[in-house]
Chains A and B, each alone.
Chain A
Amino acid sequence: MTLTAENVSFAYKHGDPVLRDLNFTVESGEVTAILGPNGSGKTTLVKCLMGFLRWTSGRSLLDGQDVRGIPEREFLSRVSYVPQAKGQMLSLTAEDMILLGVTGRIGIFSTPSEEDREDVRKLAGSLGIAELLGKRCTEMSGGEVQMVLIARALASKPQLLVLDEPESNLDFRNQLIVLETLTRLAEEGMAVIFNTHYPAHALTRAKNALLLDKSGRGIAGPVGKVVTEENIRKTFGVEAAIREFEGGVRGILPLRLTGE
């Protein structure tokens, strides 16, 4: 499965363009990271990719077919969305919350079957959150909620997973749990694209990256070519050092603001 964005731009009504002329491709089996400073349009980009907002110009193609020509239902059965885990949570149990993800598949007046529930249990087991199934989302930690939301998106068995800042507001351990999950899903053949505030996560997890700047332009390509000290300085206004650690893992440390 391939999702390609061709010369896409977006502007809110009566506003300056938020995204300008972006080109990038997301492939099965690969993790792609979207980076950029606050207000650079990362979340807007995700919403446009999902079809919640319409590109002002340009188009996205799913396996070569213009997305606007694909019925919404079919598109959403192949592409799944994990929202930012913020705001009011429902006191549904994790099992029910994950089950909401299958709603599009079942009839309007139907309720999830025992088979659907069994699927959800298996899914939760494979994500290592089986013990959360009976717990209410309102009583969960941020990391637990995030994993439940990922499970909900996976319940519809998508080919492409789009995540909006999945590891924001999480501690180190939970960040790693989420990132490991994304890596594993890609290894199993899924296409994964995620927004992140952390260039280090792009460096360690993504094959490709899209770095947005404040004007809405972007640099896309292999992560090593995109996330460089030079590009970080230009887009974030921060002097940063990228270093290689043992085992070839690369990390990045912000040092100081550039003097502009």
Chain B
Amino acid sequence: MRAQRRTVLWRILLPLFPLVCALAALCIGRMGVTPADLWKSLAGHLTGGELPAGLVELTLWRVRLPRILLAMLTGAGLSASGCAFQSLFANPLATPDTLGVASGASFGAALGILIGLPLVGVEGMAMLCGTAAVLLTALAGRGRGGLSGVVLAGIMMGSLFNALVSLVKFTADTETELPAITYWLMGSLSAANWPELALGAPPILVGLAVLLLLRWRLNLLPLTDDEAKAAGVNIRALRIVTILAATLCTASCVSMCGQVGWVGLLIPHICRMRFGSNHLRLLPASVFLGAGFLVIVDTVARSVSPSEIPISILTAMVGAPFFIFLMRRSEGWQL
């Protein structure tokens, strides 16, 4: 009974979390916007009443809201693909970062920027190279060395693609392309605007939707092929769809805001501790928590100092100690 009431409570709290974070983030920043302004603007738009000053309006809806939405999408997308990859490789350390997917996607995106492709092209390249990276990692790490095999292969693949990114930077024009690539690689959501969001959001949403719809079946992925087949499931098709959906999420996040590390490891594991490993609950929880988490981190990144801090620096500062904490926990790594 008590457990049931707690479940209901979480079901209400979790979706509210990113929403509350977003509302708070709308009011935080260098341009002073008070909650009263926000309320006035919201009420004004809903009832057709009086709106706050033009600059406030502009800050709220043209600058902050797209950025907050991008943060939510990126947080949700990276967390969900982290969950999916962990299940897919039956490995608690598998994430977009450790499998080399993020590096692969970065290379694709950097190449796209170098040859001057539009955002759709950059995203396509990121998706292509991200998929190539994860398939290479899966092939190289298959059946060797148990848990560590695939992660070691992922580290290799990551460093290979990072080298290729360096090659792209090396050939880039130092005046224009290089700063663009470098700054984007460090991870920033500052470029967020409506047109970009309109192009970048759909792939993330599609990937998320597929993973969420398949969430019960994600539980089958860590089983051996024979076990999964015996449960009456086409495991090959399930694996392929999961890889594509998770890579789509990652690649699209990377092409919009660079490498935002650690989220795909951090969020799923926090949720595992609280909600267990059944993806029926784990995946939605990771999506909501990830969305809220990245809104918080991005708000800190853009408001603590006069010039913005790259977001990957902040996620690494939270992520690295947490990684050590997880490693030293008595039960160790678990799926």
B59: Cβ under 8 A from any A Cβ: no
Q: A152's closest neighbor in chain B, by CB?
A: B231
Q: Which residues of A contact B277 (CB under 8 A)?
A: 90-92
Determine whether the beta carbon of A77 is less than 8 Å from that of B334: no
A136: Cβ under 8 A from any B Cβ: yes
Q: Which residues of B contact A156 (CB under 8 A)?
A: 231-232
Q: Which residues of A contact B227 (CB under 8 A)?
A: 81, 83
Q: Which residues of B contact A23 (CB under 8 A)?
A: none
Q: Which residues of A contact B232 (CB under 8 A)?
A: 73, 76-77, 103-105, 156
- Cα A105 to Cα B217 with chains together (Å): 12
Determine whether the beta carbon of B222 is less than 8 Å from that of A90: yes
Given A91-B335, A92-B276, A92-B277, answer yes or no on A112-B231 (Cβ-Cβ < 8 Å).
no
A41 to chain B, nearest CB (A): 16
Question: A-B pairs with the 5 shortest C-beta distances?
Answer: A104-B232, A81-B230, A109-B213, A111-B216, A76-B232
Determine whether the beta carbon of A153 is less than 8 Å from that of B278: no
Determine whether the beta carbon of A93 is less than 8 Å from that of B278: yes
Determine whether the beta carbon of B334 is less than 8 Å from that of A108: no
- B200-238 Cβ-contact flags toward A at 8 Å (1 or 0): 000000000000011111011011111101111100000
Determine whether the beta carbon of A96 is less than 8 Å from that of B278: yes
A50: Cβ under 8 A from any B Cβ: yes
Q: Which residues of B contact A111 (CB under 8 A)?
A: 215-216, 280
B256: Cβ under 8 A from any A Cβ: no
Q: B280's closest neighbor in chain A, by CB?
A: A111
- Cα A100 to Cα B228 with chains together (Å): 9
Interface of A is mostly: mixed
A110: Cβ under 8 A from any B Cβ: yes
Number of interface residues of B (CB under 8 A): 28
Determine whether the beta carbon of B276 is less than 8 Å from that of A91: yes
B residues near A, CB below 8 A?
A: 90, 147, 213-217, 219-220, 222-227, 229-233, 272, 276-278, 280, 331, 334-335
* Cβ-neighbour of B226 out of A80, A81, A90 (below 8 A): A81
Q: B146's closest neighbor in chain A, by CB?
A: A88
- Cα A81 to Cα B225 with chains together (Å): 12
Determine whether the beta carbon of A88 is less than 8 Å from that of B233: no
- Cα A88 to Cα B225 with chains together (Å): 14
A172: Cβ under 8 A from any B Cβ: no
- Cα A92 to Cα B87 with chains together (Å): 12
15 residue pairs bridging A and B, Cβ less than 8 Å apart: A50-B226, A52-B225, A76-B229, A80-B230, A90-B223, A91-B335, A93-B278, A96-B219, A103-B231, A103-B233, A104-B231, A104-B233, A109-B213, A136-B276, A153-B230
Given A91-B335, A92-B277, answer yes or no on A103-B220 (Cβ-Cβ < 8 Å).
yes
A106 to chain B, nearest CB (A): 8
- A101-121 Cβ-contact flags toward B at 8 Å (1 or 0): 101111011111000000000
| Interfacial residues of chain A within 15-70, with CB under 8 A of chain B in the complex | 47, 50, 52
